[in-house]
Amino acid sequence: MASLQALSALGQRGPAVVEIGPLRITERTDVALASVAARRGRMADIARAAKSAGVPLPDTARHQTAASYSAFWTAPEMWFVEAPLASHELIADQLKAAFGDAASVTEQTDAWVIFDLAATDLTPLLERLCNVDFASVPKGYATRTMMEHLGVYLLKLDQGSVRLYGPRSSAQSLLHALEVAAGSAW
């Protein structure tokens, strides 16, 4: 019988950590992810179920954290919901049970690479990579943007902390773009 082992999006057995000057890039392999989309005319049902399950449903361009879940807005009446992988490995099933037929829920955990970026101020890095005016957007801001021709989600956790979601198939390319920009930012 084959002995299979899980690999990170970068092809390693554990998450990658890269430090360049004041920047620390940490690959996150401990986050479960699912998309939740309200079915037509069911937003009130979604709101009640989300409140009962402790799932935040943030407004447009926002990220919000609750006790077990956090979420960010991706489109009208659609969110990505995050949770710790250790307790939510079957996040899509858990959310389907919570929302019933009021929502369409899809597993997203293995479709994305997640990088947490940390530095005193990430503005010099992000102004080289994307069109988000990072210094002026508030904590909790979430948006879809482009970095090196890759569509990514950017969540501003605070002035020195960002979470990036990029396509898993382009994980190495996104990491390389971050490394190159960091080399010129500091």
Residue 4 lies in a domain: no
Residue 8 lies in a domain: no
Q: Are residues 117 and 180 in the same domain?
A: yes
Whole-number pLDDT of residue 1 = 73
Secondary structure class of 34 (helix, strand, coil): strand
* pLDDT tens profile 102-113: 999 999 999 999
pTM of the model: 0.94
For residues 58 and 143, the answer to whether their CB atoms sit within 8 Å is no
Q: Are residues 106 and 120 in the same domain?
A: no
Q: Are residues 72 and 136 in the same domain?
A: no
Q: Which of 70, 92, 110 is the last residue of a domain?
A: 110
Number of domains in the chain: 2
Contacts 24+ apart (CB under 8 A), 42-46: 42/102, 42/103, 43/77, 45/99, 45/100, 45/102, 46/77, 46/99, 46/102, 46/103
Q: Which of 82, 110, 138 is the last residue of a domain?
A: 110
Q: Are residues 106 and 126 in the same domain?
A: no
What domain range includes position 62?
31-110
Q: Are residues 140 and 151 in the same domain?
A: yes
* pLDDT tens profile 84-137: 999 999 999 999 999 999 999 999 999 999 999 999 999 999 999 999 999 999
Q: Which of 81, 110, 139 is the last residue of a domain?
A: 110
Q: Are residues 146 and 126 in the same domain?
A: yes
Domain containing residue 59: CATH number:
3.30.70.1520
Whole-number pLDDT of residue 159 = 84
Residue 12 lies in a domain: no
Residue ranges with strand state E in the chain: 17-20, 23-27, 31-38, 63-65, 70-75, 78-84, 103-107, 112-118, 142-147, 150-158, 161-167
Q: How far apart are CA 62 and CA 164, in angstroms?
A: 14
Q: Are residues 133 and 177 in the same domain?
A: yes
Q: Are residues 160 and 131 in the same domain?
A: yes
Q: Are residues 79 and 142 in the same domain?
A: no
Which residues in the chain show pLDDT less than 70?
A: none
As a whole number, the mean pLDDT across the chain is 96
Residue 11 lies in a domain: no
Whole-number pLDDT of residue 4 = 82
Query: Would you state the structure tokens that stand for residue 82, as one six-digit string?
Result: 């995050």
